[in-house]
Structures are given as structure tokens and as C-alpha cells.
């Protein structure tokens, strides 16, 4: 059988060929292949590997169909898979993988769907370029990084599904648009037009980012890069910046190979004990029957957010650390207690609950120690803290070192 005849025969079967080093991998409906096709696959293996090397190590038969057994991390029936695949430009040939959302991604999607206007998890970066050529070089570098990382080619789907999923596209083009504003106020106008308080991205379309640009003063150009926190946080943004710089300077060969996000997600899900989390929060929050509202205000309305910063005197810092050592907790726990007392006064409540910002990368694992991001797994995020005042204040030592919340966070 000639090579062309082999390819013609394979095109009638739901087959995917992949290359890993010098191994030829056959996926899909391989049970329908007869002995003559298997013999031809073996005989033409060098030619097949050479073909795959020119196609990003992957070839998909026109008859290929993604089936439930190909997606071990999700529980989807064939109808659901077909609906998802039909929504992806290029169909099955452009679907690399489908897997569930990480727990934190689920929470971000919930806030996206529940927001009346805008998106609380839409982040932006303001950019200035000396010329149009610099803008184009940046966009090309960003597109290169997008193709490098699975998570940046990811879209979300949730309609008619028991649980939302993320779909990795093989090819995802950065959405760009030249906006008809210019001059000294061009960047400010871009920021107003695409303000996250009233603007949102379509989470069904990968990549979950877009680049809006306009002519600035003289030869300069300005741009606004918007991206969703489900796929990129501040640490990941730093990685993207470094990799764009490597692309611009011709140093891409020095970059470490990217880690597939599905592997990181699989690790996180193996360690996930949902029942333990539910039991913990039920025990901690079961008697909370009302929200903690400073001054009784449910919403800040249209008031602008203001930020205040106060550096503690060294003597006070030492006293706080000494108190923490005596109690067997971290200084952060003492500060949380002080903040809880403040909220109790402002809300006129004995028992208060508030969100505490935590860095989820502290125990992110080997992948994170190699400075590769874990979107939706290791983020800076909020964790509920509860404080109660059953009676007169008294000093006790926490036997396990930190409050129950900290012990819970330390779970695998």
C-alpha cells in the first residue's frame, strides 16, 4: 500500500495520529483498522512521523469525532460534546481537550454570570508604543505566547451542562480592534469605553483576552489589553511579559517547555475533598444568619473606591509579633482579629464574617516552583474568616499553631 493510499484509507476512519518523540500514537476508532492498515502504518511510520512533525505532531482524520471515552476528566454525553464542538471554529479538528474548571475558576464564572453589568474578574493593562511597528511586534509576540500555553487558548462552556467545562482550542487568534480615537486622550478614551464596570468578554471565545488599540500623539500608539482572571492572574501576566520579551529578542530557545494545564488541574482535583470543605464551612458558618455590613450598607453604589495605607511603627510591629508568638499564631492572625473587632463595631454585630486575601501559590507544587502558572488553582483570592465574641476577651494559646481556617487551608 502506497503512502497516499494509506492516508486516503485513514481518512475514512475516526482516527487521530500523534507523535511523541519517535513514537507514533493512534487514537480513536482503531479497532476498525484491519491487518493491512496496521501493516501499512508500521511500514510507513517514518513518513508519518515526518508528516506529523510538520503539523504540530497531530493529524486528525476528516471522519474524526470526539467521544466521551476520549475525555477522562469530564462526564459528558455525546450530545453535549457535539454541541460544544459545533461552537468551536474549525470543529473537532480545532478542539485539543475538554476538562472541568478548577474550583476557583468556578467561583469566577459564578460572579461573571451573576453580575448585572460588567465583570468583576476582567483585568486590564494599559500599553504605550513608540510606533505602529512596535505595536505589531508586541501583538505578534503575544500571539506566539497564546499558542504556547493551553490555558491561553481556553474557552468556557456551561449552558445545558451539569458542570461547566473549559475547552482548549488548537488555534486561537487574539481578538484585535483599532478604535477610532486618537490624540493625547486616546488611552483614557479606551479605558472609559472598555471599563470592566460595564464591559465584558465573551467567555465562549478563546483566547479570553483582547487588544484594543488607537493612534496616540505623533507616531505613538496606545493599547488596552483586557484579559479574564480565569486564565491569567498577575503572576501569569509577568510570565507572559517575559515570554513576549524573549520572542522579541530572539531568546525563545531559552524558555522552559510549558506544562499542560490539564496535568495541573488533574493534580488539584485528586487533592480535592469537597465533603471535607463542606463540613468545615458548615461548622464554621452555620450560625451566621446575616451578612456583615459596615454601617449597614449593602452596596457602595456609584461611589469610587479609595485606598488607604498605613505603615506601623517598628515598636508596634514588634509588640504585635510578640503577641503572636505568645499565642502561638502568625502575626496575620492577630491583625485579622483586630480587623474583626473593627468590623464588629462598624456593623454592630457580635459575630462577623469577612473575606481575607490569601496567596494560593504557597503550596502550589513542583510546577509552580518552576515558575509556571496554575490559573484557577494557585491565585491570590479571598477566603472567609469568621470571628465571634461570646464574652469577655481572654488570652488563649492555639494548640495547633494557627486558627482552624489556617489548619483547613493546610490540607492537601
Do the domain assignments include residue 304?
no
pLDDT of 379 > 50? The answer is: no
Contact 191, 126 (CB under 8 A): yes
Tell whether 196 and 139 lie within a shared domain: yes
Cis before 207 (ω within 30): yes
Tell whether 238 and 262 lie within a shared domain: yes
Tell whether 40 and 113 lie within a shared domain: no
**pLDDT for 15-40, tens place per residue?**
888 898 889 998 876 677 788 888 99
Tell whether 313 and 334 lie within a shared domain: yes
Tell whether 286 and 224 lie within a shared domain: no
User: What pLDDT, on a 0 to 100 scale, did the predictor assign at position 378?
Assistant: 37
Number of folded domains that form the chain? 3
- The residue from 64, 94, 116 where one domain ends is 64
Tell whether 128 and 197 lie within a shared domain: yes
Angle in degrees, CA 352, 353, 359, rounded to 5: 140
- CA contacts within 13 A on the Cβ side of 377: 24
Do the domain assignments include residue 69?
no
Do the domain assignments include residue 114?
yes
User: What pLDDT, on a 0 to 100 scale, did the predictor assign at position 362?
Assistant: 43
**pLDDT for 79-112, tens place per residue?**
999 999 999 998 888 999 999 998 889 999 999 9
pLDDT of 154 > 80? The answer is: yes
Torsion of CA 132, 135, 136, 141, to 10 degrees: 160
Angle in degrees, CA 200, 377, 284, rounded to 5: 100
- The residue from 64, 98, 113 where one domain ends is 64
Note down the domain range covering 98: 78-268
- The residue from 12, 38, 64 where one domain ends is 64
Helices (H), 290-398: 314-327, 331-347, 366-369
Tell whether 263 and 277 lie within a shared domain: no
Tell whether 48 and 82 lie within a shared domain: no
Name the nearest CA neighbour of 236 among 121, 166, 152, 122. 152
Do the domain assignments include residue 115?
yes
**pLDDT for 243-298, tens place per residue?**
999 999 999 999 988 888 888 787 777 666 778 878 888 888 888 888 888 888 87
Tell whether 255 and 279 lie within a shared domain: no
Contact 121, 195 (CB under 8 A): no
Q: Which residues contact 323 (CB under 8 A, 6 or more apart)?
A: 334
Amino acid at each position: 500500500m502506497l503512502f497516499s493510499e494509506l492516508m486516503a484509507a485513514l481518512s475514512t476512519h475516526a482516527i487521530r495520529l500523534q507523535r511523541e518523540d519517535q513514537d507514533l500514537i493512534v487514537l480513536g476508532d482503531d479497532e476498525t483498522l484491519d491487518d493491512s492498515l496496521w501493516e501499512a502504518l508500521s511500514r510507513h511510520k517514518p513518513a508519518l512521523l515526518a508528516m506529523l512533525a510538520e503539523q504540530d505532531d497531530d493529524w486528525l482524520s476528516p471522519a474524526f469525532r470526539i467521544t466521551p471515552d476520549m475525555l477522562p476528566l469530564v462526564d459528558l454525553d455525546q450530545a453535549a460534546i457535539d454541541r460544544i464542538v459545533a461552537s468551536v471554529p474549525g470543529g473537532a479538528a480545532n478542539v485539543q481537550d475538554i476538562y472541568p474548571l478548577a474550583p476557583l475558576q468556578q467561583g469566577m464564572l459564578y460572579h461573571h454570570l451573576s453580575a448585572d453589568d460588567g465583570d468583576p474578574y476582567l483585568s486590564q493593562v494599559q500599553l504605550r508604543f513608540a510606533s505602529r511597528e512596535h505595536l505589531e511586534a508586541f501583538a505578534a509576540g503575544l500571539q506566539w505566547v497564546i499558542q504556547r500555553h493551553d490555558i491561553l487558548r481556553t474557552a468556557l462552556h456551561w449552558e445545558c451542562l451539569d458542570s461547566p467545562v473549559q475547552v482548549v482550542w488548537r488555534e486561537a487568534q487574539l481578538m484585535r480592534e483599532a478604535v477610532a480615537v486618537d490624540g493625547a486622550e486616546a488611552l483614557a478614551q479606551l479605558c472609559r469605553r472598555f471599563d470592566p464596570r460595564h464591559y465584558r468578554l465573551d467567555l465562549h471565545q478563546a483566547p479570553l483576552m483582547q487588544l484594543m488599540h488607537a493612534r496616540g500623539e505623533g507616531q505613538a500608539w496606545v493599547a488596552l489589553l483586557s484579559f479574564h482572571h480565569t486564565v491569567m492572574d498577575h503572576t501569569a501576566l509577568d510570565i507572559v511579559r517575559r515570554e513576549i520579551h524573549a520572542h522579541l529578542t530572539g531568546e525563545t530557545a531559552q524558555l522552559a517547555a510549558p506544562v499542560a494545564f490539564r496535568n495541573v488541574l488533574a493534580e488539584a482535583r485528586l487533592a480535592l475533598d469537597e465533603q471535607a470543605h463542606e463540613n468545615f464551612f458548615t461548622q464554621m458558618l452555620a450560625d451566621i444568619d446575616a451578612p456583615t455590613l459596615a454601617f449597614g450598607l449593602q452596596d457602595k453604589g456609584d461611589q469610587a473606591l479609595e485606598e488607604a495605607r498605613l505603615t506601623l511603627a517598628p515598636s508596634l510591629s514588634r509588640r504585635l509579633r510578640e503577641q503572636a508568638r505568645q499565642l502561638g499564631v502568625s502575626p496575620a492572625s492577630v491583625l485579622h482579629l483586630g480587623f474583626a473587632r473593627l468590623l464588629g463595631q462598624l456593623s454592630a454585630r457580635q459575630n462577623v464574617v469577612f473575606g481575607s486575601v490569601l496567596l494560593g501559590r504557597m503550596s502550589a507544587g513542583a510546577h509552580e516552583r518552576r515558575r509556571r502558572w496554575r490559573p484557577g488553582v494557585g491565585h491570590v483570592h479571598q477566603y472567609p474568616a469568621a470571628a465571634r465574641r461570646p464574652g469577655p476577651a481572654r488570652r488563649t494559646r492555639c494548640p495547633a499553631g494557627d486558627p482552624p481556617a489556617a489548619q483547613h487551608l493546610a490540607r492537601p
